[in-house]
């Protein structure tokens, strides 16, 4: 499964979203710590219909460009309090559960620099 999801990661494209200013690669473990604090969090191995359909959709579109997720952060001062998604949280969850360790996402320029400073992005 991971082999197919890694191929899909290479085929991600820039999403048509206003806040998609910069592409970064996030470390899933580090990002997950902040994402769990959000009310958007999707638990591992969730069996929701949307999640299941998306998993099938990703396999059908293997090697075709799909939009990368769009993230943003909420802050406490200069520290990142939580990570959230503008678009693509189910895509992220399928990739995460499939064993992908680094995921390409898009965000605002300020969020990208905050992610780099906090060790979430490389």
Distance CA 119, CA 116 (A): 5
Query: Helices in 2-120 by DSSP H: which ranges?
Result: 2-10, 28-35, 49-60, 89-97, 109-117
With cut-offs at 50, 70 and 90, classify the pLDDT of residue 66.
confident
Give the pLDDT band (50/70/90) at residue 96. confident
Reported as a pLDDT band with limits 50, 70 and 90, residue 34 is very high
Percent of the chain residues topping a pLDDT of 90: 35
Q: 22-58: buried (b, 16+ CB within 10 Å) or exposed (e) per residue?
A: bbbebebebbbebbeebeebbeeeeeeeebeebbeeb
Residue 98 has pLDDT above 70, yes or no: yes
Reduced DSSP (H G I as helix, E B as strand, rest coil) percent helix, strand, coil of the chain, to 5? 40, 25, 35
- With a cut of 80, say whether residue 61 has pLDDT above it: no
Of 16 and 31, the one with more pLDDT: 31
**What is the C-alpha separation between 21 and 42, in angstroms, rounded?**
25
- Reported pTM: 0.79
């Amino acid at each position: 499964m991971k082999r197919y999801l890694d191929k899909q990661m290479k085929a991600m494209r820039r999403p048509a979203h206003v806040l998609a200013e910069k592409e970064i690669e996030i470390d899933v473990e580090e990002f997950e710590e902040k994402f769990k604090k959000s009310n958007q969090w999707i638990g591992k191995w969730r069996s929701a219909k949307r999640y299941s359909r998306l998993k099938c959709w990703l396999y059908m579109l293997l090697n075709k460009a799909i939009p990368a997720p769009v993230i943003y952060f909420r802050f406490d001062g200069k520290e990142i309090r939580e990570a959230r998604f503008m678009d693509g949280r189910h895509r992220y969850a399928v990739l995460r559960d499939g064993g992908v360790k680094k995921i390409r996402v898009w965000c605002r320029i300020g969020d990208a620099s905050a992610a780099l400073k906090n060790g979430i992005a490389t």
